[in-house]
Amino acid sequence: MVNTNVQRRNILKSTLAGAAAAATALPMVARAQATVTWRMQALWDGGTTPQKFEEKFVARVAELTGGRFKINLFAAGQIVPAAQAFDAVRGGAFEMMKTFDGYEAGKIPAFAFTSTIPFGFAESDEYEAWFYEKGGLDLARQAYAPAGLHYIAPTVYGQEPLHSKVPVRKIADLAGKKGRFVGLASSVMGAFGVSVTPLPTGEVYSALDKGVIDMADRGDLTANFEAGLAEVAKFVIVPGFHQPTTATAYVANRAAYDKLPAEFKAVLAVAAREISASLRQHILVNDSLVLAKYQAKGCEIIRFSAADIAAARPKAMAAWRAATKGDALATKILDSQVAFMKDLGLLS
């Protein structure tokens, strides 16, 4: 005959063991279903086309995670002034920014080459291929790592035109002009005799309007039209030899990024690459349409000759090399890019 007291003790042990196992599992389930909320400040003003694509980015992140990863998006300057975003994300004031690496090229020379190459890659696909197929993504991450930041991915799109208050019809006409440029374009345009003033994107309109500068680089043709540049600069110069293809970047606070589950990290990468392609294609379609809008506003479209641009390239290449400032990582990045440009037949 079975001892009923023994049976009761065995049942109690089983029940307690099951409860303990369930208690151990609960935190794991909770962690798996946890919701993460970040804040992100973008480069662009609210309502503009590039900012609408940042809205698509955060929506895509939420969609791919079933709403478990929410990024609250802010336009340029809404949390901190644009020039302070780098240090704010680094210090953990918010988790993520969309930035143009060239803004910090004066402090970190490698950033000059992860944002744009004046007179360099002619097509966006060439520049994006350098990031994803030639090791550029890892090199960009190496450049950000010492600052406690993680480079997630670039958004790569085409030319940024030059907007001028005065006619500039050839490279030689640049000499003696005052212009707004940032990053590597500052060094290159300086080599061609431009007096360069680095200004935040949001200050370009007023600087042109007040005559502080004669010409400016700012964004793509559509974004610049939306910002009103047709009202203050009646000459639109294409192609954008000073910025033939452009990379902005999604960058996160490293500590915050490291806390993310692997799934969320993968979603950031996937959404970023989707937005890169979709924005680029949107700009490609709209560039041809928006030129007519500039002309309707009384702007003249000036097209530089390919021969003039090609003849100026050696001087630009010398400026590339000088912009490395002898920094080992910047030099490694530039060497990698030059080698790829030669493979593509862009350089002899």
pLDDT, tens digit (0-9, with 9 covering 90-100), for 330-339: 999 999 999 9
> What pLDDT, on a 0 to 100 scale, did the predictor assign at position 200?
85
> 4 pLDDT exceeds 60?
no
Q: Is 308 helix (H, G, I), strand (E, B) or coil?
A: helix
The pLDDT of 22-41, averaged and rounded, is: 65
336-345: list long-range contacts, CB under 8 Å, 24+ apart.
336/130, 336/134, 336/135, 336/136, 336/139, 337/113, 337/117, 337/120, 337/121, 337/130, 337/136, 340/126, 340/129, 340/130, 340/134, 341/120, 341/121, 341/126, 344/126
Q: Is 9 exposed, middle or buried (0-12, 13-18, 19+ CB in 10 A)?
A: exposed
pLDDT higher than threshold 60 for residue 271: yes
DSSP 146-210: GGTEEEEEEEEE----EEESS---SGGGGTT-EEE--THHHHHHHHTT-EE----GGGHHHHHHH
Predicted confidence (pLDDT) per residue in 86-100, tens digit:
999 999 999 999 999
Contacts with 326 (C-beta within 8 Å, 6 or more apart), sequence order: none
Q: Over 90: is that where the pLDDT of 24 sits?
A: no
Alpha-carbon distance of 151 to 77, in angstroms, equals: 21
> Using 50, 70 and 90 to split pLDDT, how confident is the model at 288?
confident
| Confidence (pLDDT) at 232 | 98
Assigned CATH class of 162-244+289-343? alpha beta
Hey, where are the domains in the chain?
A: 34-153+247-285, 162-244+289-343
Average pLDDT, the chain: 91
One fold for 34-153+247-285 and 162-244+289-343: yes
CA dihedral angle for residue 181, residue 185, residue 188, residue 189, rounded to 10 degrees:
-30
Using 50, 70 and 90 to split pLDDT, how confident is the model at 33?
low
- pLDDT tens digit sequence for 202-214: 899 999 999 999 9
pLDDT top residue among 33 and 310: 310
Total number of residues shown for the chain: 348
Q: Determine what percent of the chain is predicted with pLDDT higher than 70.
A: 91
Query: 282, 49 in Cβ contact below 8 A?
Result: yes
Average pLDDT estimate for 300-323: 96
Task: Look up the CATH architecture of domain 34-153+247-285.
Answer: 3-Layer(aba) Sandwich (3.40)
* pLDDT bracket for residue 27 (50, 70, 90): very low
pLDDT of residue 201: 85
pLDDT of residue 34: 81
